Amino acid sequence: MEAIEELAVQPCTSSLYLRPFRLSYRQNGTRKFWDFMRTHDSVSILIFNTSRQCFVVVKQFRPAVYMCEVERHHPQLFQNQDKESFPSLENPLPAVVGVTYELCAGIVDKPGLSLEEIACEEVLEECGYRVSIADLRRITSYRSGVGVTGSRQTLFYAEVNDQMRTSGGGGQPEEGELIEVVEIPLGESMKFAYDETFPKTMGVIFSFTWFHNNIAPKLPKK
């Protein structure tokens, strides 16, 4: 996962996932504009394995996270954004600075499928567990990236057990996915959530907190 090499930054003139726009508008008599991106909505799934009392999350390399760290260490790289080519990056940072812990998730890009059906597919592809729509509990939906994309993410909860695992997961290699499945023991989950040495999404922190407030009190006492 962390064998990243031959880094090259270049302008993005077209994308299957992002569409940049500039909105001009007048608010309370003041003329304004705002740059934004249109992108897909998404689903995420908090997975709890009842056999081993642990959360199932994923770990993967995120280029956007990596490049934020690159810019922090090498701000000159992005100073001239209108250039056709960017300077090559000597002595690149280790790829581990771009690896994050996340909930199982996926974009909503299949018009024929419901959010629940897409969530079931993502759980199987990324984490290897076969779940049905009946296994899902919808927690809530919220806006992510409100300053840039404004996309909606819908969060589900699913309980699984060892018998429901049919593969090792890991995503779809043919689509370039390289995902590691990670188990976080229930007793260590809140410490993990707030440990900044493990880079993670807000979805992990929020969903772990939701679990401890809504599910944990109902678990059988040991």
Pick the more confident residue, 19 or 13. Answer: 19
Do the Cβ atoms of 74 and 194 come closer than 8 Å? no
For the segment 186-210, what is each residue's pLDDT rounded down to a tens digit? 999 999 999 999 999 999 999 999 9
Into which CATH architecture does domain 19-79+91-217 fall? Alpha-Beta Complex (3.90)
**Tokens in use for 187?**
């007793």
Digit-coded pLDDT (tens) for 68-114: 998 888 887 777 655 566 666 667 889 999 999 999 999 999 999 99
